[in-house]
Structure 1
C-alpha cells in the first residue's frame, strides 16, 4: 500500500504542488486514457509546468502594473496603415528585449501608442521577461523625490531590475528642471543591459524642449538610439474618430453673417 501522507510530503518538498493538489483526478484521467507509465509521467509533468506558467504570468502581470488590459489581437492595424503588422509581430517575440534594445513609439495622441506598449509588455511577460510600466510623470516624480530624500541610488537600482521598463507619455506634461539629468542616469544604468520602451507625442528632435536641456537630451538619445527601433505612427486619433462617426464632433460651421435691415 502507498503511504498517501508520505507521497504528499514528498510532492510538497519537490514543490510539485499542481500534481499534489490534483493527484487523484490526474491519475484517474491517465488511467482512463490507458497511458503507459512514461506517458503518465509526461502528462503529470505537463500539468505541473502549465500551472507554474500560469502563476508566473499572473504574478508578472501584477508586478508590471499595467494600467489596462490591451492585446495585439485587439489592435486595429487597418486603422493605422503607417504601422507594419509584421514588425509588431516580430517585436512580440521579445528578441529585442533579450538583446537589451530600446523601442520608441512616437506619434500624436490617440493613435494607439499606449495600446501597443501594454500589449507588447504583456507579450514580454508571457515569454518570461520581468516588466514594469509607468507614466513619464510618475517616473520623474519618483526620481525627483528619491533625489531629494537622498535615496536616488536605491531608486535607480530598483528601476534597473526589470528586463523591460515601459515609460508612457513622455512629453505630454512639463518636467522638473532636474528631470533631464535624473532621466540620463536611469538610461545610463539600463544602457545595453536592459530594454526600455518609451511612448511620446514629440519627435526625438524636440526632446531638448521636452527636457528643457538640449545637451542632456542629446546624451539621452545617444544611448537610447544606439540599439533601438523607432516606430512613428501617423493617423487620426481612435477616440476622436469614434466621436466623429457618432456625430459628436463636427467641423465648425461658418457663422451666419449679421446683416442690418433698412
Structure 2
C-alpha cells in the first residue's frame, strides 16, 4: 500500500453567476468577485469532504485556486464566504433598484368615455405625464435626416 492515500476528485466545468455563485450538484458555492466575471467557466473539483473551485488558466500569480469550501450534502445549500462578495455592485449603482417609486394615479377630469380602453388609459399614471407636441420635422433636424430639395435645372436657367 502507498504511504499517501490516492485522492480522488470529480472534475466538472461550471459557469459563474452574476452573484459570484457556482452551481454544483444543486448547491451553490461562492468564488471571489474580484477574480472572476459573470459567465466565466471555472473548474469544480469535488472530493469527499471539500469542493475546490479553480480557474482554467493560471492568473498573474500562477495560481488557479479560487476557493475551497466544505462539500454540501443537502440539495439547495448555499456555501458562501461573505468576503467573496466584495467588489459586487451595491444598491447605490444605477443597475440595481431597491424600491419602486410610488406613483400616484389620478383619474382625468374629462369624465368617462365610451371606450373601455380609453378609460383604462385615462386612469394610468402614464396618461398623467405631460408631453410636448412638436412637428416631425423637428426630429429630422435633430437627426440630420431632413430631406434635401434639389432645385430643378429648368428653374435655374
TM-score if structure 1 supplies the norm length?
A: 0.21
Q: Counting helix residues as a fraction of each chain, which structure ranks higher?
A: 1
TM-score if structure 2 supplies the norm length?
A: 0.30
Report 1 or 2 for greater relative contact order, CA contacts < 8 Å, sequence distance ≥ 6.
1
Q: Counting strand residues as a fraction of each chain, which structure ranks higher?
A: 2
Which of structures 1 and 2 has the bigger CA Rg? 2
